[in-house]
Structure 1
């Protein structure tokens, strides 16, 4: 048996420290490893993660030169090929692919190497679609540690891991760990041999001290040199993961095939630190959309190169914040300010690129129309159809008799809804049907609308139900009591609710795979209120308190649309509690399929908590039911209960117990405001590809913006309503000037731009 001894250091850029300390541990670990390479000619060091190399290159060029030389000599082996070792459950498919693209580009440019062994030794679970992604990039092997043997039983330590799409790599689960604590390696090697397949003739054993940098010690190396043949029927050999996989490549057909996801590791990480996960998900979608905009709309190659380069730089921030101890939500309070700043920096770059590319394109490509226009742009690869919202700038004028048309003059239905500002900004919704990578120009008109034009509707809304021709939701003060679709109610007696559940597990939830604490509170609202009643959209709202948290439910139906939109806003103020959305089904589903990055997986029923991305679908009597969301990432399905975990509130970076010096000050996760949007779909057959498209378009909606050939004045021209007069107009009119203001004066004072509040009046 050849034992491939893999010298490595475990480097977490962020965890129980901030990223600045991560830079320091990288510098120290690289220096130590370079010293060991200088001192021991047979020693080989293994290191991945391009971000670490970049820090050394920027800060200590002399050390980087030493590393470069060791790589060229074959003494320093680059593995993994990613930017960092990310969380693998929360990032989008494009985020996971970008990790590899960015890392490989760096290693190819700096060292001329392109690693073919995936290396995520500390990530908390591995989705069923990961082998497909790895195989697409030509990876041959994959090294991981979690889930451990007590969490997921595998037929062998080394196996063929086949993805849900058919892609395949050879997987290797590390035993017993990727780090050591002492110079003596007897226990580490013995356990590695116990876990190995003797018939294979090869295994790996990882060594190197420290969990905040570090690496192989002189004592480790000398132990290996001294004990090369001290273990029965085994030879210790300084080696690399690539050498191990090369050695067993001709035994591939002898290896067992595993087609399951490598999951059920630390389920608390699937939902904790919701705002960071949400911003990561939406940020990745934004950069993906911005890149698509540039590729589709920008013709000038220099401009395209500049914009795509800025997107690449923005991705570096999101690739860093995808690191497993960041995106899994397990870092200390002091780390989060920088994390949020990085996510925000990436977001604003995505927004800037989208604005520049779309406005330049509009100026160049759209036909001139001497009217105010709303441009609706669909950058997606598929057609988009639905309602869009917009607030056209009207120079503080009221909407009045304005109407919408297409460029051919055909009227476009619209509905005025509440704007975000308190006054003098109008917001509307209108239907749009936009082809893939297409656009529409909608005109805001102030001439006479067509006679007999009135939008039709099938919507109804009241405090006890909301419905259209396809679906009816019956309501009570706890949520959705019943759902009627084609004469059937897929919900059970419990309906669709919100509740709090006691959760005294640690930040990771180390010691269980489920949340089974008692329910401590069920949401009871103050009565549903009709917010909108059509003709295009109906909306009802339920406000109330759950525990110490303020909660708002919003249900929305569109005209002639079978999809029910469920919005949840919560100002979370709990400790050691979960916020969950239980959906009680009429019967246990025959099948449940959950979305993943780049695909989906069927999961067995039971109380186990699972990560989910984008959507989940259950097979119920008469058809299927699906929930699509970019905002919730954890669920379980036990019997007739389809339950989503929305928020958690353990202490931050807490594994249980208290620090040696403890003053009673605690920091809990997920405090403050959070928002969730779900789309509930029903049908005889809800196709996976269509569900993935719905999830993508929910996170990447059409882009809307105003466009003018010149700033048209509102219909009142040079005679603004009295409520919009400024001091200059008041003085000019009082002095007999601006006679055109007479009609406005005689019409009386319209609503002023900003009204006094009661406090102002009292003052």
Structure 2
């Protein structure tokens, strides 16, 4: 035989496309179709089933953007098809795009029972195998005409389609054919045989014997197919392939644990309400596939999505619960949603696991040991401790493979967090959370696997995701052929827990990666959609206050603790921390609703706080002003105010004119000079006897950069944005406004107004900024060039802080040109430092430069990222008014930074009553130990739960006291408030609980009220 390799490959591709795949359905007959379109939002199933319909023919446009249409599909199986396998092939008007980004449907029986989801690559519905002939078909399809936001073929273009309010009403789709069809399983299997062998052949060495063996077999099979009678000759063609398909994998073959998967974004290019339906469609398909394929295993994360099915599609949920009980449908991850992990605060990150794991335990009796975050945009260094404290020990993610500068050196390793906790971690080398079981993907996994020689296995999340769809029967068929196939990785369906157990057993001492898992991509998600980020931060702070004061009022006044309200609010906040909502990478509809939701939650939480504080304060007519301070630190040390301070009637000092223009703010601790441009040209720390601002430079400097990344508009900011920029130094107005200096700047189509003030008794410069933002594709920064020589700086993260270098010695440091902080950034020389704190921003950068001339000092510049203006997926991102609060704290230690960060986010509250003062319910005698939560136990036992952590990065001894009841027993617990089996009883002394904490250690104490 002398067949040319390229000719055989080309022949295979055409014969598959034009002859074999069409022959899978050799006989078809049309179904009758009628339609009813809802006038507004989706309606209940019963209403959709009962709605009047009108006939619609193939080729007819249908479906307004984000609309819902109910199709009535009827027909009869021809009598002559008796004994054959029959299915319906239902084409809603699918485009070549993958599932999840276009129209979808859910087929219902006449009684409303969900039958199966419809997606562009999974559009068949079984009728019978075999049929008797004469079976009557009557289905109703709830079809969503979700617009394809990239339908133009050019991705990431601004579009009004991302919000129902701006999308218009033009039909989005053209109805395709709706037919009954005979399913020829032999031809379908031939197609699967040829696809697997063709894909494998393409990945094998050109000069390898196995490739040519397959090539010859494929050639013989194609010769055996009569192109005019594919159905009659398919088995003969399969016989020619049997030998090469039977050749077993070599013992050293890479082992792939396939896990059915449908990574469904809880919101992204669709609103939350549509995700509810996407999950139901996908779960319907996966439970059906589980019934059809005995080896198939499907895993689904995000307790919120299970809860949606339970609430909205109980019939589907019943099927899910049965499959879970059978061990085939596996809840994984143990989190409420697959959240962002950079920006959620300490407690929010902990509650992701609390609420997720508790749901799985209560609903299924299952506790997932794996954190499952395939698509999250990088991982904060505090996460390992949280995972372990939730009772888990493993993590799976794939996203770091997207990094653009450096290739991560491991696929299986220990990840060590800031406190020393290590988590067994796996990055699937298939480099996809949407594996389709192609030969190319599996060959890539085997070649890419970094642990060759010491480990043999990896995991492949298999199925269409992002917008849902899940695993298909074709993927299962391909996996079956590669269970043991020479030249291919060996594939087996396994649960994540089984994979991890085997991986740990064969690789007990993997390498260790210490610190954050920084994604060298999607850095702009720390800034996009500023109001969503402010809503998240404010919600976290209000939840802390609500739990604290409700618990205090319950213990001291018998106040009814609002369990249900707090549980519901927490779950709503956690949902909005999903990795395309909080990061700002969803459509306009999502963020519009988020703003509305945050406003509603804030009002509700303010009400809970007010009611609890009123219960503590007593009769408001009492006339005594009571200060409620929610900040964790109850002690503070502030030097006495110097004689030069000029007190005002408020909390600040009065600005005085400055020689040469501008103003001076001086409270005896800090002297701040603001020039005529409204720029801070001097901040003098009187107690530290040194200048803060680098010589010849100005702080509080707004800087504007062009911002047009190469891809992923809302997600990315590329390093070249720094090449061009302008300093906003022109001021329209600089004047005194009460106890502050007011600066107004106009630039482009936007305006910024700032108020700069210095409190009377604190060493800090407060900066309140309001921006009326109307720029496009611009990036706004707030810069502070500091006269500090710092080789590294600290950023607050969950339960501590992480250090990052200020230099760029290697490509790893260079790639961190935009990073995340929570409430503070801190730079320090030995013995003296500066903190920049905030109330709502996360993105920032820190750079260093050595000055020339006689000074030759080092300038460390800290810049807070305020606003962006990307145009995709929301073309109006961040347009409008925004407010930010920052404070510059000279002479600050890490402890000062922690305290100032809490102060900026938890302002004092003052009300009148009859009580003289409200003492803290929980007191800690060491400022290095911070209280992150005070609440009542979730099991409603009435026990008090206190969570604390060491915040300075050193060892700390502290005594925890309760002012409200005697501590007779205290139990260290996990995050789910269950006693830790290996923890002995804590030491008691001086009426409190004694803690000895290692650096950044987090502890949860459960304190029964007896």
> Does 2:763 match 1:507?
no
Alignment check: 8 A CA contact 1:315 1:346 kept: no
Deviation at 1:369, TM superposition (A): 9.6
Residue aligning to 2:565: 310
Q: Normalising by the residue count of structure 1, what TM-score does the alignment of the two structures yield?
A: 0.77
User: 3-state DSSP class of the match of 2:721?
Assistant: coil
Matched, 1:592 2:799: no
In the alignment, the residues of structure 2 paired with residue 630 and residue 706 of structure 1 have an alpha-carbon distance, to the nearest angstrom, of 27
2:877 is aligned with 1:669: yes
SS across alignment from 1:254: coil
Helix, strand or coil at the partner of 1:528: strand
Is the deviation greater in 501-510 or in 37-46?
A: 501-510
Q: Evaluate the alpha carbon distance shift between residue 14 and residue 66 of structure 1 in structure 2; reply closer, same or farther with a 3 A threshold.
A: same
Q: Which structure has the larger Rg?
A: 2
Question: Is the Cα contact below 8 Å between 1:594 and 1:616 reproduced in 2?
Answer: yes
Aligned to 1:269: 525
Q: 1:53 to 1:513 in 2, by over 3 A?
A: farther
Q: Residue 278 of structure 1 corresponds to which residue in structure 2?
A: 534
Superposition deviation, residue 181 in structure 1:
7.1
Matched, 1:375 2:626: yes
Kept in 1, the 8 Å contact 2:268–2:586? The answer is yes
Q: What residue in structure 1 maps to residue 820 of structure 2? A: 611
**Relative to structure 2, which stretch is displaced further, 6-15 or 481-490?**
481-490
**2: CA distance, partners of 1:228 / 1:369:** 74
| Count of aligned positions | 622
Once the two structures are TM-superposed, the CA of residue 459 in structure 1 deviates from its matched residue by: 7.7
Q: 1:359 to 1:481 in 2, by over 3 A?
A: same
Distance (Å, rounded) in 1 between the aligned partners of 2:341 and 2:754:
31
Q: Which residue in the other structure is 2:725 paired with?
A: 519
2:893 aligns to what?
686
Shift of 1:478: 4.4
- Distance between the aligned counterparts of 1:697 and 1:373, measured in 2? 23
1:545 to 746, 759, 772: 746
1:176 to 430, 450, 458: 430
Q: How does 1:239-638 map to 2 (within 5 A)?
A: 239-251=494-506, 253-263=508-518, 264-299=520-555, 303-305=559-561, 307-363=562-618, 372-383=623-634, 416=649, 429=651, 463-476=662-675, 477-485=677-685, 486-492=688-694, 493-496=696-699, 497-505=701-709, 506-510=712-716, 512=718, 515-532=721-738, 538-586=739-787, 588-605=789-806, 606=808, 608-620=817-829, 623-638=832-847
TM superposition shift of 1:458: 9.8
TM-fit CA distance, 1:346? 2.1
TM superposition shift of 1:691: 2.2
TM-score, with structure 2 as normaliser: 0.59
Conserved 8 A contact 1:522-1:546: yes
Deviation per CA, 1:431-470: give whole Å up to 9, x if none: xxxxxxxxxxxxxxxxxxxxxxxxxx89856533222212
> How many angstroms apart in 2 are the aligned matches of 1:386 and 1:707?
28
> Is 1:644 the equivalent of 2:899?
no
146, 152, 163: which one pairs with 2:417?
A: 163
Q: Which runs of 5+ in 1 are unaligned?
A: 388-412, 417-427, 431-456, 533-537, 655-666, 710-763
For 1:69 and 1:60, locate their aligned partners in 2 and report how far apart those are by CA, in whole Å.
15
Specify the alignment match of 1:116 in structure 2: 369
Contact 2:268-2:585 within 8 A present in 1 as well: yes
How is 1:28-43 mapped onto 2 (pairs within 5 angstroms)?
28-43=281-296
SS in 1 for 2:371: strand
The structure-2 alpha-carbon separation of the partners of 1:278 and 1:378, relative to structure 1 and needing over 3 Å to count, comes to same
Aligned with 1:523: secondary structure? coil
| Number of the residue aligned with 1:394 | none
Structure 2: gaps (5+ residues): 1-253, 639-645, 809-813, 849-858, 916-1010
Deviation at 1:494, TM superposition (A): 2.3
Change (3 A) 1:514 1:594: farther
Match of 2:469 among 214, 219, 226: 214
Q: Distance in 1 between matches of 2:785 and 2:557?
A: 54
Task: Tell me, in whole angstroms, the C-alpha distance in 1 between the residues paired with 2:657 and 2:384.
Answer: 48
Matches of 2:427 and 2:583, distance apart in 1: 21
Distance in 2, matches of 1:260 and 1:669, equals 32
| Cα pair 1:269 1:507 within 8 Å, conserved | no
Cα-Cα RMSD: 2.6
| Residues 658-691 of structure 1, C-alpha deviations (whole Å, 9 max, x = no match) | xxxxxxxxx23111111111121122x602x442
CA 1:461–1:695 in 2, change beyond 3 Å: closer, same or farther?
farther
Describe the SS at the equivalent of 2:330. strand
> 3-state SS of the aligned residue for 2:881?
strand
